[in-house]
Amino acid sequence: MVKANYNKVIVGLIILFSFAFYGKTLNHQFVWDDERSHLTKHANVMEGKLSAIWSKPYDGMYIPVTYTIWTGIKSVAYNKQKKELNPKLFHFANISIHALNTILVFFILLLLIKNTNAAIIGTCLFLVHPLQVESVAWVSEFRGLLATLFSLLSMYVVLKNVTTVSEFKSIIKSKWFILATVLFVLALLSKPSAIVLPFVLVMVIWTFYKSHWKIAAKALLIWILFIFPIVLLTSKSQSNELLSFIVPVWQRPFVAAYSLVFYLYKLLLPIQLSACYGLTPEVIVSSWWMYLAFAVLVGMFVFLFVKRDVYKISFASFLIIVITVLPVLGIISFYYQRYSNVADRYMYFGMFAFSLFAAYLWNVAAKKNTVKYVLIVFVVACSVLSYKQLSAWENEFAVWNNAMEQNPNQWNAAYNRAVQYGKQGKLKEAIADYSTAIQIKPSDKISLVNRANAYGMLNEFGKAIADYSEALKQDENDASIYYNRALTYYYMKNIKACSYDLQMSIKMGFKPDPQFVKEVKAELKRQFGR
């Protein structure tokens, strides 16, 4: 009874601290893909048409459970007078799910380590580690939080009951296994990254319930059947055509090693975090560091494998981290690689492994108070760093300003910050960032067009024409570029060139402003009698 009450107090403290710590995000705005890709871009999603939400993928992911819950939140968060969404409820949902995930981590660690204080220290790391900030502060990553919630629930159900049966048939017929399977499917339908769960579970069972792991592994193989359609849907909706560079197959293990070492480094020294690191495959393969990273990882794996009976939990924690980020290490191409091969949010579920390792260290430290003091100081340091990092997600400009401060040589951050400068009317600053984006990615048509627009607003028409013309070399079938160039020629009083571009845009199906067409025709008649 005393233990149960103590655990209730811990649960209450987790909820309280979650909102006290991440509560400042309740005043944050929508950023990045929140509205333009997930909440308002698609009419079916915006209008909450569940049949459409469940019928196909959106933006490269089949995540109907996430969109269904978002639909419910939007029904409350939509302001009819202002005709806009209030971000507060979405941020509230993110904090709530993170708190629930942290509670589940506590009970799973308690189940595995059987030491309350050790479970608490591991739980604190999961709660406040700086790598968690992106997932909690960014509304779009509700999908990752939700997938982790169902994954951890499924994990807890399995670990709680795996020792109660000793036969394969008994497991697959049990109510708890059916429940765990349903939770796994819900995780998959929240975000495809949940495909790693069965492999993580096998690793955990091998570590802590070795006499049951073979039977459990056979049962968990059934879950593979649910993975195939998710992988197929995701792969079909994420085209490699969007990637400007595809890593040669022989280099992919080295790219993966570089990315994995990056995550291990950020786990231990979580500083200089960013919404986008700009570490694209092109950047990584141009560095010899990826070969060194590969050698380091091979060395770590060989050592831990040879000593796996001595350092069983260390070996398991290392492999679980590898497993959780394996789908996004670059072995298989994925959409976000066009911006970066690494992202903080990819480590959200994997943080469980780091928490497990921290709990294990606390547990084996026994009377070695130095280790415990180091862990406490690390958790406190993480809290300070995380709280500071939350400010980087306050609004769209804050996100990209922070990203550019960490790495000014990245196309995505430069482009997005330029857009924000443009919205603020800071056209010279916008042009500078568009120029950075174009220098990094010369084939970026959108940056060229936007820079041309900015030049036009500054009456630097010659530079605008040059950018529009360069953009047309990238895509000669873009009618909107012809139309924009026509407008610029009109302001330059080059009516002949203006008329040509206007006609080209119309032939391609562009619908121009009728008043502008009328004025061009009148000017042509005045100058050339036609």
Domain limits of the chain? 2-393
Supply the DSSP string of 215-260, one letter for each residue: HHHHHHGGGHHHHHHHHHHHHHHS-GGG-S----GGGHHHHHHHHH
CA distance 508 to 478: 8
Helix 116-128 to helix 351-365 angle, to the nearest 10 degrees?
A: 150
Phi, psi of 333 (to 5 degrees): -65, 145
Residue type, 117: N
Q: What's the chain's Rg over C-alpha atoms?
A: 27
61 bridge partner residues: 58
Place of tokens 């941020």: 91
Residues contacting 335, CB < 8 A, separation 6+: 60, 238, 242, 243
CA distance 198 to 219: 10
Give pLDDT, residue 37.
Answer: 61
Burial (0-12, 13-18, 19+ Cβ within 10 Å), 459 = exposed
Give pLDDT, residue 449.
Answer: 96
CA distance 476 to 158: 57
Exposure pattern of 233-250 as b/e (b: 16+ CB <10 Å)? bbeeebeeeebeeebeee
Task: Give 13's Cβ-side CA count (13 Å radius).
Answer: 10
User: % helix / strand / coil in the chain, to the nearest 5?
Assistant: 80, 0, 20
The answer to whether residues 359 and 371 touch, using CB atoms and an 8 Å cutoff, is no
Per-residue pLDDT of the chain (530 residues; tens, 9 = 90+): 566 778 899 999 999 999 999 999 999 999 987 776 667 666 666 666 788 888 888 777 888 999 999 888 888 887 777 777 889 999 999 999 999 999 999 999 999 999 999 999 999 999 999 999 999 999 999 999 999 999 999 999 999 999 888 888 888 889 999 999 999 999 999 999 999 999 999 999 999 998 888 898 898 899 988 888 877 777 666 655 456 678 889 999 999 999 999 999 999 999 999 999 999 999 999 989 999 999 999 999 999 999 999 999 999 999 999 999 999 999 988 888 888 999 999 999 999 999 999 999 999 886 778 999 999 999 999 999 999 999 999 999 999 999 999 988 888 899 999 999 999 999 999 999 999 999 988 888 999 999 999 999 999 999 999 999 999 999 999 999 999 999 999 999 999 999 999 999 999 999 999 999 999 999 888 887 65
Exposure pattern of 152-181 as b/e (b: 16+ CB <10 Å)? bbbbbbbbebbeebeeeeebeeeeebeebb
Alpha helices, DSSP H only, in 54-115? 64-77, 87-113
Q: How far is CA 327 from CA 53, 278, 330, in A?
A: 24, 19, 7
CA distance 179 to 181: 5
Exposure pattern of 266-298 as b/e (b: 16+ CB <10 Å)? bbeebeebbbbbbbbbbbbbeeeebeebbeebe
Grouping H, G, I as helix, E, B as strand and the rest as coil, residue 85 is: strand
Q: Which of 366, 346, 320, 331 is nearest to 144 (CA)?
A: 346
Is the torsion defined by CA of 177, 179, 182, 188 positive or negative?
Answer: negative
Q: Which of 93, 100, 107, 127 is nearest to 21 (CA)?
A: 127
